[in-house]
Structure formats: structure tokens, C-alpha cells
Structure 1
Amino acid sequence: MMTIFDKIKWILGVLMIFVLIITTNLIDKDNFTRVKDTVINIYEDRLIAKDLIFKISNKINVKEVAIISKNVDYFKKQKNNANKELDNLLLNFEQTNLTIEEAGVFNNLKSQINTLKKIEETNLNNNINSNKAYLNLIKQIEDSLINLSEIQVREGGRLMSVSKKALSTIELFTQIEIYFLVFLAIIVQLIIIYNPNKKLTSKKNN
């Protein structure tokens, strides 16, 4: 029959293991969450944003070709649909997780594109040959798109760095857990084996 002291030893041993499991699980959960969030952010806020920038750039390039080639048909029949598609792309980009720097560049881009559409509605409808201001504005838009694209690369790299650090932490704690479990197993065995009653009995016999 187990004595109260034996029960306390077993309870202490079980509690030590329980505390270790809970602690390591919480640490691992936090690190896995960081890795998961990083992967999601790279996809949703960087790869998708990069794709949107590419599509916006294509729309702007079509406008540039149309004005250089004096394509009257584009500005009379196609530009309205093209501008609606452009607005949708801008809206989708705005819904990604923008950094402070990115938001500033993006707001400037929207302003430039709005100005471009106003020129299309006024000057170009009357005289498609008045293209200097239009082409200058397209160059500014292209520069803004390049800036946004470079931000995606930098932010993607930063997120990858965060992910690597989290994975390194998980690996480190996994190794620590193994050593600590071995150490804890030895301590638990010593607690269970230790019996002060035997020492007292041996002293009395002597």
C-alpha cells in the first residue's frame, strides 16, 4: 500500500512532466503560429500584390501604346472598360496589408491614375496629338509601380527572415526539450526511488 509520502512523490513527478509538456506546447504553438502567419502574409500580401502590380502595369502599357500609336479607337471604345478593370485592380491592391511606406506610394499612384483618366476625358477626346503631358504622367505611374514592386521584394525578404527565425527557435527548443526530458526523467526516478524511511530504519538498526 502506498504511503502519503509515496503519493506525494508520484504527484510531484507527474506535475513536473505536465508543466514541461504545457510549457513546450505553448512555445511551439506560438512559433508555429508565427510561421503560419508569415506564409499567409507572403502569399496574400506580397505574391498577390506583385501579381496586381503586374496587371496594373499591363493596363498602363496598353494606354501608352495607344497614345503613341494615336489609336483613336482605343480612347473612344475601349478606355472606359479598361479604366473599370484598372479601378478593380487598385481596389484589390488596397485590400492587401499595406506598410506605411507602401500606402504612401500607393496613394500617390491612385492620384496619378485619376489625373491620367481626367486627361483622357478632356484633352485627348479633343486632340489625341496632345500627348506630352499624358506620356509624362505615364512615366510617373511606371516609377510608382516600380517602387511598389521593390517594396514587395523587401517585405517578402523580411517575412522570410521572420519565418526562418521562428523555425530556428522551434528547432532549438526541440533539442532543449529532449535534454530536459532526459534530465527530468532522472529527477523523477530519484524522487520515486528516494525513501527516507529506509535510512531511518538502517540508522535504528545500527
Structure 2
Amino acid sequence: MKIWNKIKWVSGVVLVFAIVLATNLIDRDNFSKLRQSTTTIYKDRIVASDILFDLSHLIQQKKLTLATADTNLFKRSNATLSDSIQALLSNYEQTKLTDKEAGIFNSLKGQLISFEELENDYFTGDIDKEAFVQLIAGIDENLYKLSKVQLYEGKLQMLKSNKAMESVELFTQIEIIFLVIAGILIQVIILYTPKSKRKF
């Protein structure tokens, strides 16, 4: 095999390898973004929404216990409810919080501490009930805000997923075009033979 033929074959193989490698790296990056976005939607948004729902339910149970004015029921159920709320708060902290979300969550934790401190005095009447009602309203408001954060952040992750999928589709089309062009170039390189100079 002549040197020129070897150069043609090597050039063709290198060209195909370079195109396949480049498109593979781009596809891998896009699939990595897609996987990360999907994981984030589940771990940090759906799970967080579930925790908020459970937290809201437990707080409602506490409010109902207080509303019944049954001190025996309060004493029986309050410790269990408080422990469950603390466990949920701890689980929520394990999710990835945005700066805004962390601010709302810290405010909620502070409100729940105040709620715990005040509820023991609720039955004695040694409490500002109007302030207590406002505190409960503040807790409900922060739970609502946190649920809206989950919706907003989930939507952002969905948009990232869609963008990554669009990139994958685009680069797949570009890859096909490049492979067709590469195939044509390889054929030209392999089949091309320089004309020998005529001797006069």
C-alpha cells in the first residue's frame, strides 16, 4: 500500500472517530443534565411537597386538639405530634433548599418553636389568644409559600429537562448530517487518485 493510500485511510478513520467522539461527549453532557434535573424534581421537589403536606396535616391536628379544649387529649397526643413535626422538619432540611426557600423555612421553624412554647399555656388562659391566632396564621402562610416554591422550582427543573431534550434532538440531527458529509468526504479521499504528470 502506497503512503498516499495510507494517509487517505487514516484521515478517513480519524475524521469518523472525531465526529463520533464529539457528538458522544455532547450527548453524554445533555443526558447528564436530564438525569440530574429528573432526580432534582423527585428528591427536592416532590418529596419536599409530601413533607409539607404531612407537616400541614400534623399542625392541623394540633390546632384541632387545642380547639376541643380537652386537656387530656392534648396531653396524650401533643408529645407524639411534636416529635413527628420535628422529624418532618429534619427531613425537609435534607432536601436542596434555594435561598428564598431557606429563609421561609427558617421563619417557619421559629414560628413552630413559639407555637410549642405557647400551646402549653393555652388551657390556662395565660396567653394572648389574638397573638396566638396570628402566629398560627403565619405558620399557615409560610407552609403555603413553601408549597408554591416547590411548584415554581419543579417548573424550572422541567424547563431544564425540556431544554436538554431539545439539545439531544438537535445534536442527533447534526450528527446524522455530519456522518453523511463524513461518508462523502471519506469516499472522496479514498477514491481520489492524483493524476500522474504526463511526460512529453
Give the RMSD, CA atoms, in angstroms: 1.6
- The alignment of Structure 1 onto Structure 2 pairs a total of residues equal to 200
- The range that moved more, 63-72 or 163-172, is 63-72
Cα distance between partner residues in 2 of 1:194 and 1:151: 63
- Structure number with the bigger relative contact order (C-alpha 8 A, sep ≥ 6) is 2
| Residues 1:200 and 2:196 are matched in the alignment | yes
Q: 1:76 to 1:132 in 2, by over 3 A?
A: farther
Aligned residue number for residue 151 of structure 1: 149
Q: Larger deviation: 170-179 or 68-77?
A: 68-77
* Distance (whole Å) between structure 2 residues aligned to residue 181 and residue 168 of structure 1: 20
How far apart are 1:132 and its partner, in Å? 3.4
**Letter in structure 2 aligned against 1:158:** L
User: Which of 161, 168, 171 is residue 169 of structure 2 equivalent to?
Assistant: 171
In 2, the alpha carbon distance for the partners of 1:155 and 1:106 equals: 15
Gaps of 5+ in 2: none
When the two structures are superposed, what TM-score results if normalisation uses the length of structure 2? 0.95
Query: What whole-Å deviation, never above 9, does each CA across 1:8-49 have from its counterpart, x for those lacking one?
Result: 110010000101111001000000000000000000000000
Q: 2: CA distance between counterparts of 1:164 and 1:128?
A: 56
**In 2, distance between residues paired with 1:60 and 1:44?**
23
* Letter of the 2:94 counterpart: Q
Alignment of 1:6-25 (within 5 A): 6-25=5-24
Structure 2 residue aligned with 1:79: 78
Corresponding residue of 1:183: 181
Q: CA deviation at 1:130?
A: 6.1
Q: TM-score if structure 1 supplies the norm length?
A: 0.92
2:45 matched residue in structure 1 = 46
1:60–1:138 contact (8 Å) kept in structure 2: no
- 1:75 touches 1:125 (CA, 8 Å); kept in 2? no
How many angstroms apart in 2 are the aligned matches of 1:85 and 1:128?
Answer: 27
Gaps of 5+ in 1: none
